[in-house]
Amino acid sequence: MAKPDSPKIHPKHSHAGRKHFPASMEDEVSGYLVETCSGPGGCPNRAIVCEGLAEEIGKRLIKHDLKAFLKKIVPGPLKIHHEIRISISDCPNACSRPQIADIGLIGACHPVVTGEMCNGCGACAETCREDAISFTGDIPFMDGEKCLSCGKCIAVCPTGTLREGRSGYRILLGGKLGRHPRLGTELPDIFQKDKILEIIDRCVEYYKNHCVEGERLGEIMRKNAKENIF
């Protein structure tokens, strides 16, 4: 049986596409992009459940009218890389790459040691991928420098010796790729929804006050290193 002819692509089609893409890219630019991991779809690694956070952030960013702002300051048509990017991951696996976003959120559930008697089973230490748990006798010790607050140890503790302490999101600012890549700078603490929205508002205002030609937040932070973003 003869196979149907495969569609042929002529070089002129490729050239036409190259010309069309830059010209039409500005139509695709909204001024911001909010990305999420697959956590809300039921990922078993979720350290935090905070439904509706991405939608709330999107509503805040709409009020800032970032596309209109960028059109005033960017010479030439807007491109995708001009957008402010916010990335949300519900656990430290960080599938949505929050470390290289302008504002990155990483889900966190920090364990605390309670007064409940530990049975010494060692399940928490076996589960911890960061080797952040050790024992003094039958008492678990948490190494705060190593712990990424994934919450896995809490889930396997049969006695309640480990329980949920602070929970919310770690926040990283100023991550980017490009010619001079930069990992986001982490703010100290773990933040909940209301504080996250407040910090995002303040970051966007800082960005609008200092952005000259559409630079990424990380580049602005580097140029204004002596000025605290808040």
Tens of pLDDT along the chain (230 residues) come to 555 555 555 565 555 545 544 556 788 899 999 999 988 888 999 999 888 999 999 999 999 999 999 999 999 899 999 999 999 999 999 999 999 999 999 999 999 999 999 999 999 999 999 999 999 888 899 999 999 999 999 999 999 999 999 999 999 999 999 899 999 999 999 999 999 999 999 999 999 999 999 999 999 999 987 677 77
The burial class, CB within 10 Å (0-12 / 13-18 / 19+), for 114 is middle
Looking at residue 134, its pLDDT comes to 93
Query: What's this model's pTM, rounded to 2 decimal places?
Result: 0.86
Domain assignments of the chain as residue spans, ordered by start: 31-107+168-223
CATH of the domain spanning 31-107+168-223:
3.30.413.10
Length of the chain: 230
Looking at residue 197, its pLDDT comes to 97
